[in-house]
C-alpha cells in the first residue's frame, strides 16, 4: 500500500484537514501538531526515567521538566484533534497549556538557584509575571481582540520583559553567579531560550491581532497570520519546552560528573 493510499484511508467525520493535500497549510499544521505531540511524550519518558540517574538535589528540577513536557503532550493531543476536526487554531487550549507550563518553566530558575540563596519571593515574582503575561495575552487575543488588544498586549509584553530582566541582569542572574560555573552557564543558556525562543509568542500576538504593534497592523490579514503562526508555535513549543529540560538535564549530569 502506498503512502498516499494509506493517508487517504485515514478519515474523520467532518474533518477539515485533507491528509493527502501535502502543501495545504492545515495539513502541514496538523502534521506539526502530531510531531509535537510525539516529541513531548518522548521527552517526558526520558526525563522521568533519567530523574533517578542524577544527583538527588536535581531530581525535583528534572521532575518539573518531565511534568512540563507531559502537560504539553496531553494538550497537544487535544489541540491536534481540535485542529483536525475544525481546521481552526486551538487558541483556548494553547493558552491553557501555556498557563500551566510557562510558570513551571519559570519555577526551574528558582530550583537551580535555590542552593545559592534564592528565596520564595523570587519564585512568586516569576510565577506572577508569567501568569500576568499569559492571562492578559489571552484577553487581548480573544475576548478584547477588536477593542483593546494593544493595551492588553502592552501589559503582557511588560510582564515578559520583566522575566527577561530577572534572568538577564536581575535576581536570577546574580544568584546564578554565586551558584557556581555550571549553574551560571545553564542560566545563560536558558536566558537565550527566554529571549529568543519565547519571542515567537509576542510576535504571534502582534501579527495575529488587529491592533498589531501599538496600533500599526503589520499584516493585511491577522486571521491568516494566526494560522501560519500555529506552525511556528508548534515547532517553538517543542524546542523551548524540551530544550529547557535538556539544559536542566545537562546541568544535573555535569554536576554529578564533577562530584565524582
Average pLDDT, the chain: 87
Quote the pLDDT of residue 94: 95
The three cell numbers of residue 65 are 521538566
For residue 76, pLDDT beyond 90: yes
Quote the pLDDT of residue 84: 85
Q: Hey, where are the domains in the chain?
A: 22-259
- Domain 22-259 carries which CATH code? 1.20.1070.10
List beta partners, residue 213. 216
Quote the pLDDT of residue 27: 84
Q: What is the pTM of this model?
A: 0.88
Q: What is the mean pLDDT of residues 11-29?
A: 61
Quote the pLDDT of residue 1: 41
Enter the DSSP assignment of 117. T
192 CB-side CA count, 13 A? 8
Report the distance separating Cα 224 and Cα 229, nearest Å: 9
User: Cβ atoms within 10 A of the Cβ of 26, count?
Assistant: 20
Quote the pLDDT of residue 210: 82
Quote the pLDDT of residue 224: 72
For residue 7, pLDDT beyond 50: no
* pLDDT digits 0-9 by tens, 83-113: 888 888 899 999 999 999 999 999 999 999 9
Helix (H) or strand (E) holding 133: helix 120-138
Quote the pLDDT of residue 258: 62
Name the band, by pLDDT with cuts 50, 70 and 90, for residue 208: confident
For residue 25, pLDDT beyond 80: no
Amino acid at each position: 500500500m502506498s503512502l498516499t493510499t494509506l493517508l487517504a484511508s485515514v478519515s474523520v467525520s467532518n474533518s477539515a484537514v485533507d491528509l493527502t493535500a501535502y502543501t495545504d497549510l492545515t495539513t502541514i499544521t496538523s502534521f506539526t501538531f502530531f510531531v509535537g505531540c510525539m516529541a513531548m511524550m518522548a521527552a517526558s519518558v526520558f526525563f522521568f526515567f533519567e530523574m533517578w540517574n542524577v544527583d538527588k538535589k536535581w531530581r525535583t528540577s528534572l521532575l518539573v521538566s518531565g511534568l512540563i513536557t507531559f502537560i504539553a503532550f496531553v494538550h497537544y493531543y487535544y489541540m491536534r484533534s481540535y485542529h483536525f476536526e475544525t481546521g481552526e487554531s486551538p487558541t483556548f487550549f494553547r493558552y491553557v497549556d501555556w498557563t500551566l507550563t510557562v510558570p513551571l518553566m519559570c519555577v526551574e530558575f528558582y530550583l537551580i538557584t535555590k542552593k545559592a540563596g534564592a528565596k520564595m519571593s523570587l519564585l512568586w515574582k516569576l510565577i506572577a509575571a508569567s501568569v500576568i503575561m499569559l492571562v492578559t495575552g489571552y484577553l487581548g487575543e480573544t475576548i478584547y481582540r477588536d477593542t483593546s488588544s494593544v493595551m492588553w498586549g502592552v501589559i503582557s509584553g511588560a510582564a515578559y520583559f520583566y522575566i527577561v530582566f530577572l534572568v538577564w541582569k536581575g535576581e536570577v542572574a546574580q544568584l546564578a553567579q554565586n551558584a557556581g560555573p555550571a549553574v551560571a552557564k545553564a542560566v545563560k543558556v536558558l536566558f537565550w531560550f527566554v529571549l529568543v525562543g519565547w519571542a515567537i509568542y509576542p510576535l504571534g500576538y502582534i501579527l495575529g491581532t488587529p491592533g498589531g504593534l501599538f496600533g500599526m497592523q503589520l499584516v493585511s490579514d491577522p486571521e491568516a497570520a494566526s494560522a501560519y503562526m500555529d506552525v511556528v508555535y508548534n515547532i517553538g513549543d517543542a524546542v523551548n519546552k524540551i530544550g529547557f529540560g535538556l539544559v536542566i538535564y545537562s546541568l544535573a549530569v555535569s554536576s554529578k560528573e564533577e562530584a565524582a
